A and B are shown apart, each in its own frame.
Chain A
Amino acid sequence: MREEIIETARLAQLDFTEDELTQAEVQLGRMLAYVNRLSKLPAGESEDAPAHVNVFREDVVRDEGLATEIIAGAPEARENQFVVPKTFANE
């Protein structure tokens, strides 16, 4: 289970300390055991799935004039752009 939690945390882009991992092992284990009651439901789609209707509108480009304000809220910005660490390694 611990290995699965470590892999799941990696997928969720979260670091867990040893203590948090131990706690997660207990909590996730209990939750999954509880949730297992759903396994007795038959597999497959329900025949009575409600009918959903798509709602469309015209895709119109609009300038809200907020670019500067939005970028001002970023943790790090330069020349009206978001700053991120290098995305590609040099290998």
Chain B
Amino acid sequence: MEKLFQDALALSAAVRGGEVSVTEVVEACLSRIEKSEPALHGFITVDAEGALSQAKEMQKKISSGEMRGPLAGVPIAVKDNISTWGLRTTCASRMLADYVPVYDATAVAKLRDAGMIVIGKTNLDEFAMGSTTETSFFGVMKNPWDLSRVPGGSSGGSCASVAAGEVPLALGTDTGGSIRQPSAFCGVVGLKPTYGTVSRSGLIAYASSMDHIGTIAGSVRECAALLDVIAGKDEKDSTAAERCKQSKQGNAYTDHTDNTTFLSSTSQTDLQGMKIGVPQQYLSTDVNPQVKDAVLAAAGALTYAGAEVEMFDLPMTDEAIAAYYVIACAEASANLARFDGVKYGHRAASYQDLHEMVRRSRSEGFGAEVKQRILLGTYVLRAGFYEDYYLKAQLAKEQIAKAFAEAFERYDVILTPTAPTTAPKLGESLADPLAMYLGDVDTVAVNLAGLPAISVPCGLDSQGLPIGLQIIGNHFREDQILRVASAYEAIRGEFMSPCDTAEERPS
């Protein structure tokens, strides 16, 4: 069983082959969680009872042959801003501390349809607004590689629980890097698909134009297999597209329906004929030299698999963070206006009238970072400021997308660090929010452009902390980033887990 937990696909095969029962798998998973949670705090809710009853039901379907998908019988953790029917979904906020959804997010319904077991809900920054998972109302969590450090954020709980071996797979969300950056900090693989590949229905909105649901696992293959489960068109989200490859001719896009699985893309590890660009701006002096060296070494390694790698200039990198925070906060101020203490969520105990009830409920329910972002978002949308901030940010967003589009005329994928540093110490980042925002420099442009990207571990720094390699693809070309990521993984070999002893770590 220990060995099976290292690979979700092997685990499911063992379940389907009758070597182990779903209940045994779920029990093993729960006991791992029980052991690690006191130190880690990756979960807000563990649904032991629900998971065991799901296990029984799935076992019947698997035994009868009705359920035979590649991940059937595998337990999974879901970030606590993704709605789960009958299971508390808090967004790590006091506002939703007791909120129980009456429907499943489309991605969660698809997990269930694939025979997977939702084991619990993972910790995050409140409403996914943060890069450290320190703003959670339910308490700070730790990085399993070094308990004095943050796991990154906002999908810190999902990434750390996979890294610590509590669960084989997890769902996260990514608005400005929230899957990729904690994946880098925790030494796991995290994939943010193209905007539209996975339905956002049931994801509690932060910034709708940049929110994505994505996958987190120990390997690229597992990430791809999980994406196969959750991807697809959805009538509940008009931006969710048919799985397709787009080709551009002039200004028009043509869709080609693509029936190949994401998993099959990972078996193609020959990169002959593939062109990879490394933007100079992402390896500037602000990047930790050890991170830079690891990324350049990874780029070098890909040439052995047959790829052609070259450095290039990617304009508009400097404007990305400013544009991202203006647009994200503007959308957040509108999205979070729904929390008024009427239909769900926190309501203040005392008030004189309707307006005071709304104001008090919101002020008590939201934490400091959420209030600051709503404030910034409301400010940039105000009459008189709108043109200077929001419109300019939209313009920057278009120019960033254009810069990427031009780059993809020359390259199949783009390679960058996932984050300019490795995981910081707990408490370091919140002292200086602007500095924390600037740490998102490698990931936010990808969300502004709606492109798919994956973070793969590419080494450890001198303190033994994981470094992430980001591979960015063109719209709906998840197949290409998965192919390059797999090729890199094959060259790199097995990556350490935080449970390995220091002596076993490579120098």
Q: Interface of A with B (CB < 8 Å)?
A: 4-5, 8-9, 11-16, 20, 23-24, 27-28, 30-32, 34-39, 41-46, 48-51, 54-57, 64, 66, 69-70, 73-76, 82, 84-87, 89
Given contacts A12-B374, A27-B372, contact A75 B362 (CB under 8 A): no
Judge whether A12 and B319 touch: CB under 8 Å.
no
CA distance A15 to B358 in the complex (A): 10
Q: Tell me the bound Cα distance from A38 to B322 in angstroms.
A: 7
Q: Flag if B398 contacts A48 (CB, 8 Å).
A: yes
* Given the contacts A14-B359, A27-B433, A87-B354, A8 and B341 also touching, CB distance less than 8 Å: no
**Distance (Å) between the CB of A77 and the closest chain B CB?**
10
Task: Provide the bound-state CA to CA distance between A8 and B371, in Å.
Answer: 11
Stretch at the interface among B39-47, B375-383, B498-506: B375-383
Distance, CA A55 to CA B238, complexed state (A): 6
Given contacts A13-B362, A82-B342, contact A38 B398 (CB under 8 A): no
- Asked whether B357 lies within 8 Å of A12 as measured between CB atoms, the reply is no
Give the residue among A8, A36, A64, A76 with the most B Cβ atoms within 10 A.
A8
| Stretch of B2-10, B256-264, B389-397 that contacts chain A | B389-397
B185 at the interface (CB under 8 A from A): no
Using Cβ atoms and an 8 Å threshold, which residues of chain A touch B378?
8-9, 11-12
A43 to B372, CA, bound (A): 27
Contact B322 A37 (CB under 8 A): yes
Q: Is the beta-carbon distance between B392 and A38 smaller than 8 angstroms?
A: yes
Do the beta carbons of A14 and B376 come within 8 Å of each other? Answer: no
Chain A residues with CB under 8 Å of B375's CB are 5, 8-9, 12, 14, 24, 28
> Could you tell me if B371 and A30 are in contact, using CB atoms closer than 8 angstroms?
no
CB distance from A64 to the nearest CB of B (A): 8
Tell me if B395 and A20 are in contact (CB < 8 A): no
Is B100 a contact of A37 with CB atoms below 8 Å? no
Chain A interface, DSSP helix/strand/loop, else mixed: loop
Counting from the closest, the 7 A-B pairs by CB-CB distance are: A75-B347, A55-B238, A38-B392, A46-B398, A15-B363, A12-B378, A35-B322
Bound complex: CA A13 to CA B358 (Å): 7
How near does chain B come to A14, taking the closest CB pair, in angstroms?
A: 5
Looking across the interface, which residue of chain A has its beta carbon closest to that of B99? Answer: A73
- 20 A-B pairs with C-beta separation under 8 A: A13-B337, A13-B340, A15-B363, A27-B433, A34-B321, A35-B393, A38-B323, A38-B395, A39-B388, A45-B395, A49-B398, A51-B252, A55-B238, A57-B238, A64-B103, A66-B103, A70-B102, A73-B344, A75-B344, A84-B354
Q: Is the CB of A20 within 8 A of B371?
A: yes
Residue of A nearest to B236 (CB): A57
Tell me the dominant secondary structure on chain B's binding face.
Answer: helix
Across chains A and B, the number of contacting residue pairs, with CB separation under 8 Å, is: 140
**Cα distance, A52 to B325, chains bound together (Å):** 23
* Number of B interface residues in the complex (CB < 8 A): 64
**A38 & B366 in contact (Cβ 8 Å cutoff):** no
Please report the C-alpha to C-alpha distance between residue A66 and residue B99 in the assembled complex, in whole angstroms. 15
Complex contact A37–B347 (CB within 8 A): no
List the B side residues contacting A31 at CB < 8 Å.
325, 376, 434, 437
A73 & B102 in contact (Cβ 8 Å cutoff): yes
A-chain residues with CB within 8 Å of residue B497 when the two chains form the complex: none
Q: Which residue on A lies nearest to B347, using beta carbons?
A: A75
Does B66 sit at the interface, judged by CB under 8 A?
no
Minimal Cβ-Cβ distance residue in B for A38: B392
Question: Does any Cβ of A come within 8 Å of B165's Cβ?
Answer: no
The answer to whether the Cβ of B399 comes within 8 Å of any Cβ in the partner chain is yes
Bound complex: CA A16 to CA B375 (Å): 10
Q: Does B492 contact A (CB under 8 A)?
A: no
Across the interface, do B398 and A75 meet the contact criterion of CB distance under 8 Å? no
CB neighbours of B388 from chain A (8 A): 39
Contact B376 A86 (CB under 8 A): no
Query: Across the interface, which residues of B come within 8 angstroms of A4, CB to CB?
Result: 379
Contact with A50, one of B344, B357, B401 (Cβ below 8 angstroms): B401
A37 to B319, CA, bound (A): 7
Whether B376 contacts A75 by the Cβ 8 Å rule is: no
Contact yes or no, A14 B366, CB < 8 A: yes
B77-102 residues with Cβ-Cβ distance < 8 A to A are 99-100, 102
Restricting to B128-164, which residues have a CB under 8 Å from any CB of A? none
Residue B409, interface by CB 8 Å: no
Indicate which residue in A27, A42, A66, A89 contacts B102 across the interface (CB closer than 8 Å). A66
Q: Is A14 a contact of B374 with CB atoms below 8 Å?
A: yes
Cα of A36 to Cα of B385 in the assembled complex, Å: 11
Q: Identify which of A5, A42, A74 contacts B342 (C-beta below 8 A).
A: A74
Tell me, yes or no, whether B402 is within 8 Å of chain A by CB: yes
Complex: how many Å from CA A44 to CA B392?
A: 8
A86 to B351, CA, bound (A): 12
Give chain A nearest CB distance to B367 CB in angstroms: 11
Q: Which residues of B contact A39 (CB under 8 A)?
A: 388, 392
